[in-house]
Chain A
Amino acid sequence: MRRTPSRRRTTATSMAALTAGALILAGCSSSSGGGTTSSSATSDGPCGTKAATTLTVGLFGTFGFKENGLWDAYKKVCPNITVQEDVVEQSADYWTRLKTRLASGTGLDDVQAIEIGFVADVVQNHANQFVNWNSVPNAAADKAEFFPWKWGQASNAEGSVTVGLGTDIGPEAICYRKDLLAAAGLPSDPATLATKWSTWEDFIAFGKQYEASATKPKDSRFVDSAASIFSTAVYQGTEAYADASGKTDVANSDGVKSAWGYATQAAAAKVTAGLQQFSPPWNKAFSSGSFATIACPTWMMGYIQGQAGPTYAGKWAIAPVLPGGATNWGGSWLGVPKAAKNQAAAVALVQWLSAKDQQVTMWTSAKQGGHFPSNSHAAADSSVASATSAYFDNAPVGTLFGAIAGKMKVPPIGLYDTQIQNALTTQLTNVETKGTAPDKAFADALAAIKQVTG
């Protein structure tokens, strides 16, 4: 019997990855940097240890700590600590890897980032594997600094266990192409738009005017996608994808119901460009002008600058309004696994990173913007409020997003928010581009969600 040669490497590898299961993967993934110290003593000073130590920090995408010089700054505070980043590009891949490591209890970094998409899972299933921020030194002082809802999202229902300290939050406004609205003969100054876009009905009606314009660019649509409207409006409900106890609930959610209504209205009115968010065609459209507006959490500012490039500086602007009321999209936390080799030093680093001064730096830095502070003391700082963005036509982003952050309504989050939102927005793309009936699309989305929830 001759062995058949392995033909498709990708297939073979992924098959192996799946069939090998968690144990094998865990065995291969240990890459923690070596420390030289124990972490039990509490008298080791503000850095958690006095010995020369390398801390590994597990992150996904671009957190901006390195880009904004925070690691260098920490070297000055704690000369004995060296920080080493362990970055995975996609947060979904990062989460799979983190789960594998948590299941096996090995290979965990000293600090692990936790995203809003899986923080509920960490709280529900892995809280006992992370340092509880309610029982570290200075716990009460830490807690007092954060927006209460941000602290709550990383805590259990009783509030006794908290798995991470917040990094950024994503208060939302509307980013728009000033030049395209002007070309369509419509108002394009932020103050006027704020009055015209206070509800989703108004926003869609304004979109119809844009579409009716004879002078706008021919291939340009008003808003990038129905998903843009949906993903924002769903978090304006009292419930998004989970009830107050954190149990998945899509069919009875007021947020899903109204958001689906607005998104399908926008699709029916043909004011959407029908692009799948975060797909290559969507990325290209930031500079091609295929759409004039987009729902814009603070981190989207960085995304737009990256995709559209310096040529479009001053053409993009931000309206100080979110149709339907202020809410949040995204955000992360930093947690310390109990299995971390250098626990005390890791706790000290996370506390330093989440403190007011560092969060102010993250927001005001010119290099890597868009990280709005989750630390409410930082958010209230005058240098945060006075921040403006030259790229977005000198928008007063500090006061603009600060005002929204101050009055945000944030519904409970659940275990499968990411997958559920993905199933619903995928079906919205079908409504937009293939004319699928909204009811049929919703039924299809529920079927796909059933595959996730079981």
Chain B
Amino acid sequence: MTTISPPTRAQRSHRLPGSRIAYAYVAPFFAVFLAFSIYPWLDTAWVSLHEVRLSTYDQSTWLGLGNYVNLFSNPFFWNAFRNTVTIGVISTVPQLCMALGIAHLLNYRLRGRTFFRVAILMPYATSLAAATVIFLELFDSKLGLVNWALHLVHLPAVDWQGSRWPAQIAVSTIVTWRWTGYNALIYLAGMQSIDTELYDAALVDGANRWQQFRHVTLPGLRPTILFTIVVSTIGAAQLFGEPLLYHNGMPDGGTQGQYQTLGLLMYQQGWTNDRLGLASATAWTMFLVIVVAVLVNTTLARRRDRQGTLSSLAPKVRL
């Protein structure tokens, strides 16, 4: 950790013209950010306080917090909220664990290591629509490969579309398949930045591979893990494309809403049901939910970090 001493008065006055140019350089980004992030963000908040339909956009009526009251007493909202949490957990947890394992393996000197490193990123590069169509075929209740395999081992066929848990597992499988490689690469980059001397020292102390992984790799990766947890939490809370395509592009998340996420509910309210006010209220609620979820996750991860015995070895990367 280095500290930068504050510039002296003379240095500061010298730097001023340069920093003006710097403002000019970053201005385009902030102009776009203002137009496409801040303005819609505030406009959505304003719309969420009204009863608005796109068809009668100029005739909105003031509701105050009416849309939010409606939302919190709305079984469709709580169903979507529960689904978002459960799908988030059953997709993110195995995904990150597997990514960690894969990264650990890829960190060894393997033959064709570059090939494997590129290969695990392929799902990420694949079009979501194409991938979901393939998964739909795999999870087809009548002719799908998964049920065929279950049949081979004398297990009963599962309704991967209609039943709540199987459908959520199927959707989570698509998410996991798609993002495991991406997270593995991030972990791999983190692992490569861990000082090899630590491994050598551990080896001298008689640590085996598993002990090295637990006591050197994991602590060294804590900041990276924290980062992936935050990003995955945001991704899981916004989950949209997979469950949408899993029901042939319909935003109802199955005939009983068995895998309707908050993202889908918002889309359905806004575009299918033409209730922009309610959809905006959902959007803002989602935003707050994400903020809370990220804070909770970060706090938990930080607390564990503090308890970690080797945490002082981890490079301090701040998010």
A residues neighboring B (CB under 8 Å): 1-2, 4-5, 7-12, 14-16, 18-24, 92, 96, 99-100, 102-103, 121, 125-126, 276, 279-281, 419, 426-427, 429-430, 433-434, 444, 447-448, 451-452, 454
Contacts and interface: CB of A to CB of B under 8 A. Distances in A.
A1 B227 CA distance: 12
Nearest to A15: B238
Contact of B255 (A8, A21, A426): A426
B41 interface: yes
B54 A24 contact: no
B57 A103 contact: yes
Contacts of B239: 8, 11
B76 A451 contact: yes
Given A15-B283, A18-B267, A430-B255, 14 more contacts: A7-B179, A11-B241, A12-B238, A14-B267, A15-B263, A16-B36, A21-B43, A22-B54, A23-B43, A100-B54, A102-B55, A434-B162, A447-B76, A454-B278
A92 B272 contact: yes
Contacts, number: 119
Give the interface size class of chain B. 35 or more
A419 B272 contact: yes
Nearest to B251: A14
Given A24-B36, A92-B272, A7 B234 contact: yes
B114 interface: no
A20 B36 contact: yes
25 contacts: A2-B318, A2-B319, A4-B230, A4-B231, A5-B231, A7-B234, A14-B241, A15-B263, A16-B36, A18-B267, A18-B271, A19-B40, A19-B43, A19-B280, A20-B36, A92-B271, A103-B54, A103-B55, A103-B57, A276-B248, A430-B256, A434-B256, A448-B76, A452-B275, A454-B278
Interface in B246-283: 248, 252, 255-256, 263, 266-267, 269-276, 278-280, 283
A16 B37 CA distance: 8
A121 B256 CA distance: 28
A452 B273 contact: yes
B231 A7 contact: yes
Contact of A121 (B41, B55, B276): B55
Interface of B: 35-36, 40-41, 43-44, 47, 51, 54-58, 74-76, 128, 136, 140, 162, 179, 230-231, 234-235, 238-241, 244, 248, 252, 255-256, 263, 266-267, 269-276, 278-280, 283, 318-319
B283 A1 contact: no
B36 A279 contact: no
Contact of A11 (B47, B263, B274): B263
B55 A99 contact: yes
B235 A8 contact: yes
Contacts of B128: 9-10
Contacts of B255: 276, 426-427, 429-430, 433-434
Contacts of A2: 318-319
Contacts of B279: 18
Contacts of B270: 18
Contact of B238 (A11, A96, A100, A451): A11
B162 A16 contact: no
Contact of A125 (B40, B55, B162, B244): B55
Contacts of B74: 451
B141 to A, nearest CB: 9
Contacts of A426: 252, 255
Contacts of B252: 426
Nearest to B43: A21
Contacts of A444: 256
Nearest to B70: A454
Shortest Cβ-Cβ A-B pairs, 3 listed? A10-B241, A103-B57, A19-B40
A428 B247 CA distance: 16
A248 B267 CA distance: 23
B29 to A, nearest CB: 10
Nearest to B249: A90
Contacts of A451: 74, 76, 269, 273, 275
A430 B83 CA distance: 19
Nearest to A25: B54
Contact of B44 (A19, A280, A419): A19
Contacts of B75: 447
A9 B51 CA distance: 29
A92 B230 CA distance: 35
A24 B179 CA distance: 31
B175 to A, nearest CB: 9
Given A10-B240, A11-B235, A21 B47 contact: yes
Contact of A8 (B140, B238, B276, B280): B238
B41 A19 contact: yes
A163 to B, nearest CB: 13
Contacts of B51: 454
B71 to A, nearest CB: 11
